[in-house]
Structure 1
Amino acid sequence: MIEDVTYNKKFKAKDYFNIAQYRSDSWNNLKLMANHFSKNNFELSASAAFSGRISSSFTALKTIEHYFAYPGVKYIQSLEEMYKKGQYAAFTNSISEVVRSLISESYRTNRGATEIDEKRKKMLGDGKLHRPKKQNYFEVIVVDDLGDDERAKVREKFEQLKNDNEQFTYDVIFLSNLEDALIALLFNPNIQTAIIRSGIHKKSPLDLTSIQSFIVGLDSIKLGEADNLDLGLNLGKIIKLLRPEIDLFYISDISVSQLSDSTLNCFNRVFYRTEDLQEIHLSVLHAIKERYKTPFFSALVDYSKKPTGVFHAMPISRGNSIFRSSWLEDFGNFYGKNIFLAETSATTGGLDSLLQPTGPLKKAQELASKAYGSMSTFFVTNGTSTANKIVLQALVRPDDVVLIDRDCHKSHHYGMVLSGALPVYLDSYPVEKYSMYGAVPLEEIKHRLLKLKSARRLDNVKMLLLTNCTFDGIVYNVQKVMHEVLAIKPDMIFLWDEAWFAFAGFTPIYKQRTAMFSARMLQQKYRSQAYREEFEANKKSENPVPMPDPDLVKIRVYATQSTHKTLSSLRQGSMIHIYDELFKRKVEDSFHEAYKTHTSTSPSYQILASLDAGRRQVMFEGYEMVEKSIEMAMVLRSKIVTHPRLKKFFDVLTVENNIPEEYRKSGIIEYFNPKDGWTRMEEAWANDEFVLDPTKINLYIGRTGVDGDTFKNKFLMDQFGIQINKTSRNSVLFMTNIGTTRSSVAYLISVLLKITDQLEKQREAMSGVELKIVEKNIKSLTEDFPPLPDFSHFHSSFQAVPGVPGGNIREAYFLSYDETKCEFIRREDCKAALESGREIVSASFVIPYPPGFPILVPGQVLSHEILEFFINLDVKEIHGYRDELGLRIFTQHALNRKKTATAMMGASAMNGR
């Protein structure tokens, strides 16, 4: 009998977050069993437990491998035959080779170079495969109802057409129906191309029981509503939504004259069954090459190889001032030669100008636009802070009203000052127990809009500005927000700050909550005949609900993304994505002026090249890498939640902790618990008002007795070199991204265990007095919650219209330039001043960092709640506040004079009427 618990453990699909984990463990389980079997001299053949484990692994893998070319379903079937025939040595060796190849991913880079490739080719009935070791590998699905003999002929023909000297190579997966094709696209990130025939079936003939928990997302695709008349076209349209980077080719049975426009628009190219496979093969490779292009990066590489004479600015260009120096040798050696060979201040000669691109930069931005699903995309080389200011200056004029999330990044508030816009601050729901803000409820947005409408100020409203997702991972239902706001103001412009959400467009669940995807979906919806009929029927109903008028509504959506925060780009690499139906007509000129205003005439070519190259990466690997980053986050969550020692001091904040029940109609409260395992999040992400991005992991540390800032610096940074961005009084935020590895997660777990050891030893050594201090700290962090204040109000001197939301932040900001109108008051003196009845009005932004949003803006009145929050701040870096001087405020004399001047201007305006 097998005594080791490892071999007795049953592997169940419900214990895994995604198919990648389940597939990997199924192969590893087979390897473990085979090796154990081998070591025991094959004496376990009669063991029911052993046979059951082997059979279970074969059952799962025979289903899963249908959706992968490598090693594929035929290979797993051949392994099963080896086992049944008693070929145990070959069985064990073959499994070990597969597992080694899958774990190392050598099958992607060393195609044809390993023993398993030769074995596999023989099993598939193909000839020997001779390929160079370095080729970019991908997989192609052919969705066609072909028999085994036909499949073998097609596979053989494709093999004959392949060229050893090509940069790209592929393997083929044959499927016969729409359902299997969609499962393959969900499971297999290697798939880059789909070749689809029109007359395919709908449902899979396979028993999908073993993988059912991983394909619940197909329900949201509405598989049952597929058009039986042309399932091939239907499949193509679904793939365009599910994984739009996939190249699509159509094999038609009908004449060219009968092809619909939707078919021609959906597919790269349409073929006919009588045509030579060579054209299909060449088209597949050509499409891959087009996506692989990096116009600007390639131009920069070419430039670095050219001999040049430098007679312009930048002595560092070509490395001349570095490598000829006796004192900068270490600097040059650290960065290497290429970075300096690629330095130039020239904007011609193949490198293009960022301010007026006509060559490779223009092409690079067009490819980025296609990748991110925008109408236009612009590269930004000095961060999303600048991207935000560009958009605001381009779209908003003085005295335009902007509804803005009070907790958004400081760059937006400074953008209000620069543009002269009148901000109406929106309050997020508070999460006081954990000292953090959530997001702005839709009802709050609509309430402010309707209040402005009743005050006849709706025409002045220009923009709604929200952060999606927030620092702590709260994500809006973007389509729902825009739909309901457009029902009130059909020409509203939306600016979604997606600084922490650039990765979201490359996985199906997340994508539906991104700005660009939502804009495209709403545009298609409002242009459809079905929506127009629904709108007209609603108007005639007894109780009509607000709906955007299809004749008035305009889709005007902007997104700013910090590419460098969540995808591959050098620091400060960002993008502006635009989906604005009126951009060409109303915005283009002002946008380019704003872009030139804030963009350096000497942008970093290295940053631009990284944006270009990073775009290529996400078009090929984005789906896989984002799914892995989510998987790493889920693994980390489950490890902390289930580890008995870590639970003593730490908790992972759940969906329930971050989002109040009224915003979670799905009822989901957490992503994982030890009793029930994984919770599928598809329903919540499709319908709930707010959801939690699992890659943002807030670790609750209240029971340690250590505040967040101290925990970050004293424990994580100083001792273990772990970098994090954000803390609250009693939590620290970890984030996984496309660079997070299993070893990174393992290291963090080990660090938390070491910190647990330290805390336990410290408490064991403490005296009674010291323990009481720790208990007091714990009580403060776990029970005493300082308020999370809402925005108070602008002083009457700085209100745009008395009693109506909207403040003149620009006027207050520039009034503070006159030092005679300002004074300082120490934080501890504010309470007495407020109790005496004085209005304390801030003359500057006061911004704790992190998280980087202001608790006071120029012209805002200090409230008791804000003061208490200010006093309890545990962060050391507070922009706009100098501890030795205090808070910079307007003098009472300045406020009185300003109030009088404002009243006179108001009276004059009334008399003018």
Structure 2
Amino acid sequence: MKFRFPILIIDEDFRSENSSGLGIRALAQAIEGEGAEVIGATGYGDLSQFAQQQSRASAFILSIDDEEFTAGGDEEPAIANLRDFIQEIRFKNSDIPIFLYGETRTSSHIPNDILRELHGFIHMFEDTPEFVARHILREARSYTAGLAPPFFRALVDYASDGSYSWHCPGHSGGVAFLKSPVGQMFHQFFGENMLRADVCNAVEELGQLLDHTGPVAASERNAARIFNADHCFFVTNGTSTSNKMVWHSAVASGDIVVVDRNCHKSILHSIIMTGAVPVFLTPTRNNLGLIGPIPLDEFRPENIQKKIDANPFAREAQAAHPDRKPRILTITQSTYDGIVYNVETLKEILDGQIDTLHFDEAWLPHATFHEFYRNMHAIGRDRPCCDNAMVFATHSTHKLLAGISQASQILVQESKTTKLDRHIFNEAYLMHTSTSPQYAIIASCDVAAAMMEPPGGTALVEESIAEAINFRRAMRKVDAEWGDDWWFEVWGPDEMAESGIGTQEDWILRADDNWHGFGNLAPGFNMLDPIKATVVTPGLNVRGQFAEAGIPASIVTRYLAEHGVIVEKTGLYSFFIMFTIGITKGRWNTLVSALQQFKDDYDKNIPMWKILPEFSQQFPMYEGIGLRDLCKQIHETYKAYDIARVTTEMYLSVMQPAMKPSDAYAMMTHREMDRVEIDDLEGRATAVLLTPYPPGIPLLIPGERFNKTIVEYLQFARMFNLKFPGFDTDIHGLVEENVDGVAKFYVDCVRTNN
């Protein structure tokens, strides 16, 4: 299989008719004669943009005979340009071949700091162009041959060798699709390579994901090395599955587990499946609905013990096995809104107190590759291991890195006293993985890890941080230019570095800061990841105070979506965007432009049919309403029901367990439950997860009782959904049924005896 990696030549004479131009073009023709592609340029242009070509090129050939060398001064401008360009390349790529060539100049004219970065020096006309071309191509092909990591290389080789397929899947390398018109469309859309690479685990030369052998195992070892972990396991079912694997390898029925109250629902599913007894650590929240950190004191062993004592089921479990520690701690690192914890502080507090420390780093796989995040992620270079506790980190490779959907991985850091039993762990792994894994997902795990090999990975992360901070600066610039008029705010520290990315200290959450709204936080314990950007719309401040006028975020994001800008999450007066390694200046500048257009349409009160034609066609009731008028209606509804207070209080309220989650779930599976209308829920124990979107964090888990605040929220959601269709509050676990033409809302609760 031939990949396109041209050789890039930069010479001001590339298109000239002088002897230098003739010579370099002769070399280019000789390289093309050997079957390679050449791209010629006459200048460096924007160095940083030109150096981006390092990801597409197989080698650089740079002239040192340009006219700038004749200039005087302390250092010739061409040398300075050359140095800057090479440094820009090496910032991202330490391996790509770089050659210098000249007619009159030699290595004696080049400083040592440039010479040490070179793969060769070509003196024109001393050898034939054909010989020089072969010399360059030997280095270029050696470089490209070493790019592919183990599994991806094996998969490419397999898909390229023309073997007939007699195994699953039934499309047999895509052939079945060619027998049908719609199949032809599918084949043309996805392409030959993807379908030839879609194979089953009968292909021995690709190794086995299920028992981690062959190229799969080599790739997992390679990823473990890159991420500085003792072990890495690829997962093709997403981090929801990775979390369940970790839990089933460590937790059994009746074990006490310590869990972040705002964890992902996969952790709550794990509690139900394992039969564990949870005690929860409650994060802070601000009145914008953003999830803050769990206070440091919540993690202290004496306070965890108080929670165990206060929970009748945990108390009973501890009495039955007084010699057992809590089996696992799981916290969300980072939170959906970008708050991270100092992991070393947690290790110091909890090592020896809890058997396994699990950090759900679905949204933080990039952190290990940049000093900006030092100590704010679970496993990495020069990170000390615990004396007793095993440390797991689960990563959504597809969220922040370059994996395709469902690509995930589990990293393990062993303790000084405990080594991972791979055989026992693999029993839990097999419980949750498919026996027919998608090999393209495995390959993307392999490639995503290889892409993060320093220095390239470090450069990618730094670019993400830089783009995120530049977006924040641009939004503040617009705000300053509008003066007293309204504009959007990007949630974050009041002060930022004037240029560059600054340091970690710029993003630490401090107790005396007003911007975050999380109260009195421990020094140095938490940081906001700047690549997670929450845009705050006018109408509500972090103290929960409503303004006279407001712009609900759901209207803004609906507007953005119809203008081709899709955001990650929408709250009452905020929406969330992420600056992954794939985000570009063009994308975030488009967002700024779209927000400017929204402001203009809002200020002019343009009717909905004109600015949101598709939405208005779906919901004709909004057609004639002006954008500003609709914002006013929804804002006044939020304000009348004081919904910011309600949503904050319901997540911070004390949840009362009526039974173990696994017991409540068992009653649901046996249909020992009642479908209870919203107004009658107070005091009843839910049989299902109740999860409002946003933020997609479960509010109640099976076996917990409804309190007054939660019922008040559900009553508001019922009213709002009927009044403003299209801007519905989505609540998983809430059942809507039509009774005599009237929509009614229910939740399935465990059946009581009375």
TM-score range, shorter chain: 0.7 to 0.9
Q: Which residue of structure 2 lines up, in the alignment, with residue 52 of structure 1?
A: none
Which of 649, 671, 696 aligns to 1:788? It is 649
The alignment partner of 2:600 has SS state of helix
Instruction: Give the Cα–Cα distance (whole angstroms) in 1 for the partners of residues 182 and 117 of structure 2.
Output: 62
- Counterpart-to-counterpart distance in 2, 1:156 and 1:389: 46
The whole-number CA distance in structure 2 between the counterparts of 1:616 and 1:562 is 15
**Structure 1 residue 711: Cα displacement:** 2.9
What amino acid is the match of 1:575?
Q
| Cα distance change on mapping 1:310 and 1:510 into 2, 3 Å | same
Does the 8 Å contact 1:654/1:671 carry over to 2? no
Is the 2:252–2:275 contact (alpha carbons within 8 Å) kept by the matching residues of 1?
A: yes
Measure the CA separation in 2 of the matches of 1:600 and 1:140.
38
2: CA distance between counterparts of 1:367 and 1:121? 44
Is this contact kept in 2: 1:437–1:788, CA < 8 A?
A: no
> 1 CA distance for matches of 2:644 and 2:117?
71
Q: CA deviation at 1:688?
A: 1.5
Q: In the aligned structure 2, how far is the partner of 1:634 from the partner of 1:157?
A: 34
Give 2:444's aligned residue: 610
- Counterpart of 1:741 in structure 2 is 584
Residues 59-208 of structure 1: pairs in structure 2 closer than 5 A:
97-105=43-51, 108=54, 109=57, 113=61, 138=94, 151=112, 159=120, 163-168=135-140
* Contact 1:435-1:785 within 8 A present in 2 as well: no
8 Å contact from structure 2 (residues 263, 331) kept in 1: yes
Matched with 1:723 is 566
1:670 alignment counterpart: 494
Q: CA deviation at 1:343?
A: 1.8
1:689-704 matches, cutoff 5 A: 689-703=525-539
Over residues 317-363 of structure 1, what are the superposed CA-to-partner deviations in whole Å (9 max), with x where a residue is unaligned? 22110123233211111111111111222433311110012211110
Deviations 1:138-177 (A, max 9, x none): 3799xxxxx99993996599635994124459xxxxxxxx
What residue identity is the alignment partner of 1:732? Answer: F
Instruction: Report the secondary structure of 2:463's partner residue.
Output: helix
Does the 8 Å contact 2:685/2:749 carry over to 1? yes
- Higher mean C-alpha deviation, range 877-886 or range 453-462: 453-462
> What SS does structure 1 have at the residue aligned with 2:174?
helix
User: Would the aligned equivalents of 1:427 and 1:440 in 2 still touch at CA under 8 Å?
Assistant: yes
SS in 1 for 2:254: coil
State the Cα distance separating 1:401 from its structure 2 match: 0.8
Partner Cα distance (1:827, 1:477) in 2: 41
Q: Give the corresponding residue for 1:386.
A: 241
| Aligned twin of 2:179 | 324
Q: What letter corresponds to residue 747 of structure 2 in structure 1?
A: L
Distance 1:313 1:772 in 2: 57
**Distance of 2:248 and 2:644 partners within structure 1:** 42
8 Å Cα contact 1:672/1:678 also seen in 2: no
Aligned equivalents of 2:114 and 2:555: distance in 1? 66
How do 1:235-314 and structure 2 match up within 5 A? 292-314=147-169
2:363 alignment partner in structure 1: 500
Query: CA 1:364–1:888 in 2, change beyond 3 Å: closer, same or farther?
Result: same
Query: In the alignment, does 2:277 pair up with 1:422?
Result: yes
Is residue 97–residue 116 contact of structure 1 (8 Å, CA) maintained in 2? no
Provide the rounded CA distance (Å) in 2 between the counterparts of 1:744 and 1:156.
34
Superposition deviation, residue 649 in structure 1: 4.0
Query: What residue in structure 2 maps to residue 465 of structure 1?
Result: 330
RMSD value, Cα: 3.9
Quote the offset at 1:617 in angstroms: 1.1
**1:434-513 mapped onto 2 (5 Å cutoff):** 434-446=288-300, 447-451=302-306, 459-486=324-351, 489-513=352-376
The answer on whether the counterparts of 1:847 and 1:856 sit within 8 Å (CA) in structure 2 is yes
Identity %: 25
CA contact (8 A) 1:640 1:647 kept: no
Tell me the equivalent position of 1:826.
677
Residue 593 of structure 2 aligns to a residue in which SS? Answer: helix
**Alignment partner of 2:327: what SS?**
strand
What's 1:532 paired with?
Answer: none
Matched letter for residue 412 of structure 2? I
1:823 and 1:417 map into 2 onto residues whose CA distance is: 20
Distance 1:158 1:763 in 2: 61
Q: Distance in 1 between matches of 2:66 and 2:53?
A: 12
How far the C-alpha of 1:763 sits from its partner, in A, is 7.5
In structure 2, C-alpha distance between the alignment counterparts of 1:452 and 1:111, rounded to whole Å: 61
Residue pair 2:507, 2:530 contacting (<8 A) in 1 also: no
Which structure 2 residues correspond to residues 677-692 of structure 1 after superposition, within 5 A?
680-683=502-505, 688-692=524-528
Equivalent in the alignment of 1:652: 489
The one-letter code sitting in structure 2 at the alignment partner of 1:138 is S
Q: Which residue number corresponds to residue 887 of structure 1?
A: 747
Work out whether 1:862 is the aligned partner of 2:706: yes
Is 2:639 the partner of 1:639?
no
Distance between the aligned counterparts of 1:642 and 1:775, measured in 2? 27
Residue identity opposite 1:151 in structure 2: N
Work out whether residues 605 and 629 of structure 2, in 8 Å CA contact, stay in contact via their aligned partners in 1.
no
Which of 546, 552, 557 is the aligned partner of 1:707? 552
Aligned match of 1:50: none
Structure 1 residue 681 displacement after superposition: 3.7
Q: Cα deviations across residues 460-513 of structure 1 (Å, max 9, x unaligned)?
A: 411111000011001111111221222xx4453110000010111111111421
Q: Is the 8 A contact 1:500 1:566 kept in 2?
A: yes
Q: Which amino acid in 2 is paired with 1:510?
A: Y
Distance, in Å, in 1 between the alignment partners of 2:642 and 2:653 is 25
Separation in 2, partners of 1:604, 1:408: 27
Say if 1:358 and 1:752 are closer, same or farther in 2 by CA, change over 3 A: same
Counterpart-to-counterpart distance in 2, 1:600 and 1:776: 50
Q: Secondary structure at the match of 1:825?
A: strand
1:29 is matched with none
Stretches of structure 1 that go unaligned for 5 or more consecutive residues are 1-69, 72-94, 129-133, 142-146, 170-284, 527-552, 656-668, 799-807, 897-913
SS at match of 2:654: coil
Equivalent position to 1:592, from 401, 405, 426: 426
For the structure 1 residues 741 and 116, does the alpha-carbon distance in structure 2 shift closer, same or farther, using more than 3 Å as the test?
farther
Shift of 1:104: 2.9
Task: Return the alpha-carbon distance in structure 2 between the equivalents of residues 501 and 117 of structure 1.
Answer: 47
- Once residues 629 and 824 of structure 1 are traced to their aligned partners in structure 2, the CA distance between those partners, rounded to angstroms, is 47
3-state SS in 1 of match to 2:581:
coil
The TM-score, its normalising length taken from structure 2, stands at: 0.72
Say which SS state the counterpart of residue 462 (structure 2) adopts: helix
Question: Aligned with 2:675: secondary structure?
Answer: strand
Q: SS of the counterpart of 1:619?
A: coil
The 1:152/1:650 distance shift into structure 2, 3 A limit, reads closer
1:771 is displaced (CA, Å) by 9.1
The match for 1:755 is 598
Do the aligned partners of residues 458 and 408 (structure 1) sit closer, same or farther apart at CA in structure 2, a change above 3 Å counting?
farther
The alignment status of 1:556 with 2:390, answered yes or no, reads yes
Q: Which has the higher helix share?
A: 1
Residue 383 (structure 2) pairs with residue 521 (structure 1): yes
CA shift at 1:880, angstroms? 1.7
Structure 1 position 375 matched with structure 2 position 244: no
SS in 1 for 2:586: helix
2:383 is paired with a residue whose SS is helix
> Of 171, 196, 211, which residue of structure 2 is paired with 1:356?
211
Residue deviations 1:263-298 (CA, integer Å, cap 9, x gap): xxxxxxxxxxxxxxxxxxxxxx89x976x3411111
Q: 2:663 aligns with which of 811, 814, 822?
A: 811
- Tell me what 1:900 maps to: none
Q: Please tell me whether the aligned partners of residues 729 and 781 of structure 1 are also in contact (alpha carbons under 8 angstroms).
A: no
* 1:625 alignment counterpart: 460
Quickly say closer, same or farther: Cα 1:736–1:343, change in 2 above 3 A: same
Looking at structure 2, the residues matched to 648 and 777 of structure 1 have their Cα atoms a distance apart, in angstroms, of 24
C-alpha distance in 1, partners of 2:431/2:450? 29
**SS of structure 1 residue aligned to 2:331:** strand
